[in-house]
Chains A and B, each alone.
Chain A
């Protein structure tokens, strides 16, 4: 094993040149802001290399053995991005500025036709589209999340993807699409205009489609990819309309122009809320599609058909945050304290309500899911909805000029984005580790008995086949425990800090300023309790109790490629929450302060002993519901001792024994109820959409197909048949006899002669 591990580590040697590129660039005097281009270019240039070399040397021994089918190349390009991004972040923090705008590169420069009522005229050089780097607290936070998680999940993917026979000789496609996606995410975060944001947004959408459909020969995967693509497309159309409306108002889509003073539009006109608010709502619909919020949420659970690293990266940690990022970018528009446009309170309320509804709905569906990845998918949806809820409250409070509360909840929401991305990325990797090992255990087990490989249907993702893995997968169980604790919001760990901030400030807004926020606020507290239940349920079903299938009894952790990123992220999840909270990261993220300032006591006091009585009640209700009531009910239902003779390490063993200590609760009656049934069916949203489509789009498509086959093809075929029969008729004049040709030539010449004579007279 040790020798083997040594060999695996040797594979990382090609990474070394990538590690020194950025320091060398920096020593040569490259402006740290220009390193942003390196962040984007490294994966972008590696993408065709991996794809083409992989295609040419498919199955080659060095390519498969040493380069892991391109995985090492992809990892090195992401290492360049990570180092360059870290360098930029450190540089940005040392500047103590709220935002930095790098030099732009002009991309396109074109004239614009304009109409002044009577005639058209050309404004030469009116519009130029340029690309530059825009850094502020939001983008550096997301930049770190994206580069760090892309790197770690690529590392994980090398272990996960290259050990499965089903992927053999296809992985170059995976890694190429993976780094193209990374390029899209980095670009979107760094872009300095809404147009570039949209372009990179679409690149991510494309990669999401390609990667969900990675197992394209599986019908369910192909359908899921199509569903994800089409659903997000609905949102993207609105997004594009919103961008055109913004362009109409401001005459530019550059952040520098738009955010300079959002209350004055093109040519110094005053921007009215009645024209800006519809544009922002259009953008928000795009965000709803991308971040899988109600009512465009149906694609995310199906997207779990993709390989697990894809779920971890795209559908939990990065791409689904794009919608949140865009909503966070709307803050300057409504922030009346800093030149915002007054009168847009409704926008914030709509965002908050969508968030509240999605959070509650997704959490309730997560109650009954048995597929480990589906639970995590609904949990992602629910947590993203929390962030939307926080952003919505922030938008409302800022629009109503309560800027202190507004900035606080904005910071909390963005901090939750960070915590959630880290925890959920890790949870998906841990679930991938479980699935991988259960699948392999099952495979080995049946390979010995039945070498043909034909065995009964077995779903390695179904938690009803797991159980008792705590002793067999120590690293994974601890990682998953920490991730779940962060998502649940167990005090002092990860997501606790940010979730408390969102809930407390939403309640503050509801109680003191706007009763309409009360709905989302109540939903948020209820969802916190439900989160405690379904996350604990997932952990207990997977790791506690007796093995529920023989395969689960033969699981063991193996490859270090999977364990290393898990350990790293466990550490990050466990510590960064408290660390960043004590540095008052919220005030930095919301743009209120240019840097960090340290204060543990402040942070603790603000969270545990708020000044307002009502917030104290809300805060402790949330803690009790999420950390005590929810987990205990889950333990009662799904907990249990490990099998005899099995022993997990320290805290995990304690947790498993704790779960066994509660009196078991029988929930068969509840599990068979109609509510559980409709939750199983995802509250019938998919059925409703399918029915609507089958009644509207399908007949229309059928008619179009008929029209195409009969009318359009009919016209084309008529032309074709006429020309064929015409040609057949003309062919009879080629007799093959020379004399006929000469006669024709003579007659022709005489005709031309006669014509000329006739015309000239």
Chain B
């Protein structure tokens, strides 16, 4: 059995990578991927917790989170498609219609 703190550490690193990616990348699709990364970091924590305590709640949470992530990706991609068809770009720096 792996020590849960290792798994938590891995999850924290994954989350950090995802967070920094969302801040720093211009490409919308990459940002979407980074968000997925953060979600999966959280899933990893759930799974680790579930293994450690032996309960089923963690598995259930994970299943729900994956379903939400799938829906979110669908919506995100739809937004990006729509953005591309109207603005001809998927660069987040250029989508500034809501400024001020």
Task: Kindly supply a per-residue 1/0 record for chain A positions 724-736, scoring 1 wherever the CB is within 8 Å of any chain B CB and 0 otherwise.
Answer: 0000000110111
Q: Which residues of A contact B93 (CB under 8 A)?
A: 737, 739
Interface residue? A24 (CB, 8 A):
no
Contact between chains at A734 and B99 (CB < 8 Å)? yes
The A interface is mostly helix, strand or loop, or mixed, namely helix
Contact between chains at B23 and A739 (CB < 8 Å)? yes
> What's the minimum C-beta distance from A353 to chain B, rounded to whole angstroms?
78
User: From B97, which residue of chain A is reached at the shortest CB distance?
Assistant: A736
Which of the residues B19, B95, B96 comes within 8 Å of A746, measured between beta carbons? B19
User: From B26, which residue of chain A is reached at the shortest CB distance?
Assistant: A739
Interface residue? B2 (CB, 8 A):
no
Contact between chains at A738 and B100 (CB < 8 Å)? no
Task: Kindly supply a per-residue 1/0 record for chain B positions 77-100, scoring 1 wherever the CB is within 8 Å of any chain A CB and 0 otherwise.
Answer: 000000000000000110111111
Q: How large is the interface on A (under 10, 10 to 19, 20 to 34, 35 or more residues)?
A: 10 to 19
User: From A740, which residue of chain B is reached at the shortest CB distance?
Assistant: B23
> What's the minimum C-beta distance from A650 to chain B, rounded to whole angstroms?
94
Interface residue? A716 (CB, 8 A):
no
Contact between chains at B100 and A743 (CB < 8 Å)? no
> What's the minimum C-beta distance from A733 to chain B, rounded to whole angstroms?
9
CA distance A732 to B100 in the complex (A): 6
Interface residues of B in 29-60 (CB under 8 A from A): 31
Contact between chains at B19 and A735 (CB < 8 Å)? no
CA distance A742 to B24 in the complex (A): 11
User: From A732, which residue of chain B is reached at the shortest CB distance?
Assistant: B100
Contact between chains at A737 and B96 (CB < 8 Å)? yes
Contact between chains at B100 and A742 (CB < 8 Å)? no
Which of the residues A731, A738, A743, A746 comes within 8 Å of B92, measured between beta carbons? A738
> What's the minimum C-beta distance from A743 to chain B, rounded to whole angstroms?
6
Q: Which residues of B contact A742 (CB under 8 A)?
A: 22-23
Q: Which residues of B contact A737 (CB under 8 A)?
A: 92-93, 96, 99
Contact between chains at A735 and B22 (CB < 8 Å)? no
Contact between chains at B98 and A736 (CB < 8 Å)? yes
> What's the minimum C-beta distance from B93 to chain A, rounded to whole angstroms?
6
CA distance A731 to B100 in the complex (A): 5
CA distance A736 to B91 in the complex (A): 13
CA distance A739 to B22 in the complex (A): 7
CA distance A746 to B96 in the complex (A): 20
CA distance A746 to B23 in the complex (A): 10
Q: Which residues of A contact B96 (CB under 8 A)?
A: 735-737
Q: Which residues of B contact A739 (CB under 8 A)?
A: 22-24, 92-93
User: From A741, which residue of chain B is reached at the shortest CB distance?
Assistant: B98
> What's the minimum C-beta distance from B1 to chain A, rounded to whole angstroms?
28
CA distance A650 to B9 in the complex (A): 126
Q: B: which residues have CB within 8 A of A?
A: 19, 22-24, 31, 92-93, 95-100
Known A-B contacts: A736-B95, A737-B99. Give 7 more (CB < 8 A).
A732-B100, A735-B99, A737-B96, A738-B31, A738-B92, A739-B92, A739-B93
5 closest Cβ contacts across the A-B interface? Answer: A736-B99, A736-B96, A738-B92, A736-B98, A742-B22
